[in-house]
């Protein structure tokens, strides 16, 4: 029987990481040193998705998978976990969070499904280490635009009062009047205007979003 693709990849990465016979560059890497590689590969994958480039999407998916396998191999060598346990963990989470598929749970629509997902997720987090802060569920670091979106999602979900920081009514009204193309054009115009003024929109948005987080956390 021929070796499966994933088994071959795991074997190859383990060989690359072998201290005696492996590749010097691969042997030198740790979790921190290859984080930029993960970001770059994810961005390249997103580019193929945006372009509908199925010819190259397979390759880019493989590059992203390689990053996962590398991190799992590094963790295995340190005695923490391995790729197989990562697969078991995510599989168990999927089954646990979809009782309407793998159990007796019922949901009437996608809105009810999202409420159920959040309830299960919240219960799981309560069993983990206690975290402080109103934005404790927010993954960091994120690109500035994703950071802003996730902060706003938390504000809406937790019904936070934002005072003068944000005009929720104006935001919701504007959202109804904009279509996808208009939003893209608006964002491009802002990025272009920042370039004209020698400003970094990523930094500006991240800075203001962090200001929102710090202000609401202090209340």
**DSSP letter, residue 3:** P
In CATH terms, 5-93 corresponds, of 1.10.287.1080, 1.10.3720.10, 2.30.29.30, 1.10.3210.10, to: 1.10.287.1080
Chain centroid offset of residue 1 CA: 37
- CB burial of 20-45 (b: ≥16 within 10 Å; e: otherwise) equals eeeeeebeebeeeebeeebeebeeeb
Model confidence, pTM? 0.69
Q: Could you give the residue ranges of the DSSP H alpha helices within the chain? A: 5-16, 24-28, 35-51, 54-77, 83-96, 99-102, 110-126, 144-157, 168-177, 180-196, 201-218
pLDDT digits (tens, 9 = 90+) for 20-61: 999 999 999 999 999 889 988 998 999 999 999 999 999 999
Domain-wise residue ranges, the chain: 5-93, 97-126, 144-218
pLDDT tens track for 93-142: 999 989 888 988 788 788 888 888 878 877 777 665 555 566 766 665 67
């Amino acid at each position: 029987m021929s070796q499966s693709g994933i088994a071959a990849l795991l074997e190859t990465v383990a060989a690359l990481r072998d201290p005696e016979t492996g590749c010097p560059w691969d042997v030198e890497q740790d979790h921190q040193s290859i984080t930029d590689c993960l970001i770059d590969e994810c961005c390249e994958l997103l580019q193929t998705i945006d372009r509908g480039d199925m010819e190259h999407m397979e390759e880019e998916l493989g590059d992203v998978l390689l990053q996962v396998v590398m991190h799992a191999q590094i963790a295995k060598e340190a005695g923490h976990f391995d790729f197989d346990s990562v697969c078991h963990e995510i599989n168990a989470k999927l089954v646990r969070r979809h009782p309407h598929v793998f159990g007796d749970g019922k949901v009437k629509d996608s809105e009810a499904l999202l409420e159920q997902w959040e309830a299960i997720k919240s219960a799981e987090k309560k069993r983990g280490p206690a975290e402080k802060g109103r934005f404790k569920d927010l993954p960091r670091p994120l690109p500035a635009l994703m950071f802003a979106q996730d902060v706003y999602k938390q504000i809406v979900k937790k019904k936070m009062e934002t005072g003068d920081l944000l005009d929720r009514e104006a935001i919701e009204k504007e959202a109804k009047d904009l279509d996808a193309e208009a939003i893209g054009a608006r964002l491009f115009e802002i990025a272009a205007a920042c370039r004209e003024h020698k400003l970094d929109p990523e930094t500006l948005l991240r800075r203001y979003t962090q200001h929102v987080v710090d202000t609401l956390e202090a209340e």
